[in-house]
Amino acid sequence: MTTKIQDVKVILTAPEGINLVVVKVLTNQPGLYGLGCATFAYRHLAVKGLVEDYLKPLLVGRDAQAIEELWQLMHQNAYWRNGGIENNAISGVDMALWDILGKLAGMPLYQLFGGKVREGVPIYRHADGRSLAELCDNIQKYREQGITHIRCQSGGYGGGSFGPAPAGAPERAAPGIYLDPRRYMRDTVKMFDDIRGRIGLEVALCHDVHERLKPVDAIRFARQLEPYDLFFLEDAIPIEEGEWLRQLREKSTIPIAQGELFNHPLEWRTLITDRLIDFIRVHISQIGGITPARKLQIFAEQFGVRTAWHGPGDMTPLAHAANIHIDLAARNFGIQEWSGTEPPNFVLQDLKGPRDALLDVFPGLPQLRQGYVYANDKPGLGVDLDETEAAKYPCDAGVTRWTQTRLIDGSLQVP
């Protein structure tokens, strides 16, 4: 019997206070359904509407195993293509269809991708601190848990918290998160100098610029960081000014990770074929799910570019699991960002409350043990959704503030 799509549902939940979007695809086979991540945390209602009002009528009655056909159909059906809202909506369905395929085959997804080339996936975690001592303490806690790659920041991405304009801003300047790029660069170089002086060179360190520098400053910044042996420097160049990556590559030996905001293959094609980056960093729901992510991973392999998929808190455990399944089967895997979906017996910080809620809503998470994440080997993605628990944690449709980043003159800076 052909497996047909019978219904498409959207479930919104926020067990950690971050808006998450799940797509559930139900089939004509009793009890067979798939789950996928469609999370665009800051436009979640728009994604929900697109799935329910446009994709569901398009998909119901079609063959659930025709994944490539359905991805292309969803992608072109609106005529204008790409963008965060559409791609995340497509991703929710795409991941759910892969989940269904794995369940039909009785296999975890990595088996459908050709099988494991590694048993566990090494990850990196984020360390921050209000002081050097606090930052180094946090690094040491991660090291004690077997984690060998750590991203280091001091004060987030160089700005403070959302608030009124600081002294030195013009009169009537709008509130925001104010950034001083020159001070950020000085403080970060000193931070890495102090960290290396305290902990040595054994730990692989990363840093995320978050596109908050002008390209010429980013190049100078990268050169200043070269003595500290970074594993990679992330998103140093804004997506709108990607041509500067060629100059960054020519003027610095620091490994480059790029792509958190990418939507479309034209944004990464030249960067990979011309070997202008070392790590591709896309958020896989932002590019449309597992189908395009696998194509990207295989394409990057041909040019020696490694994967380092985005793995933040504003994606569901379904997307974290999708990352892990691709990582397990990818020869050009580099490192995996991990925001902390570990089980509650992983003692690094107090995980009571919200972290337990995440586990209640999404049973079956991949597990972190001694620096490696392991898939649970259940068919499909291996992660389920408890809709009763999910309903306990409603989403927030308020105005997003953390993206309101400003320079000292009050003008907006990309976040």
Calpha distance 201→203 (Å, rounded):
6
Parallel, antiparallel or unpaired: strands 279-280 and 256-258: parallel
Q: Active site residue: 149, 207, 210, 310, which one? A: 210
Choose among 262, 339, 247: nearest CA to 300: 262
Return d(Cα 350, Cα 132) in angstroms, integer. 21
Q: Which helix (H) or strand (E) holds 298?
A: helix 290-301
Angle CA 261–267–270, to nearest 5:
140
**How far from chain centre, in Å, is Cα 129?**
22
Known active-site residue 149: no
> Residue 313 — φ and ψ, nearest 5°?
-75, -20
In one-letter notation, the amino acid at residue 366 is: P
Using only C-alpha atoms, the chain has a radius of gyration, in whole angstroms, of: 21
Catalytic annotation, pick one of 157, 178, 184, 393: 157
| Catalytic (active site) residue 184 | no
> CA of 15: how far to CAs of 35, 271, 308, 314, 365, in Å?
17, 37, 26, 11, 14
Output b/e per residue, 191-221; b: 16+ Cβ within 10 A: bbeebeeeeeeebbbbbbbbbbbebebbbeb
Cβ 5 vs Cβ 62: under 8 Å: yes
Residues with catalytic function: 157, 210
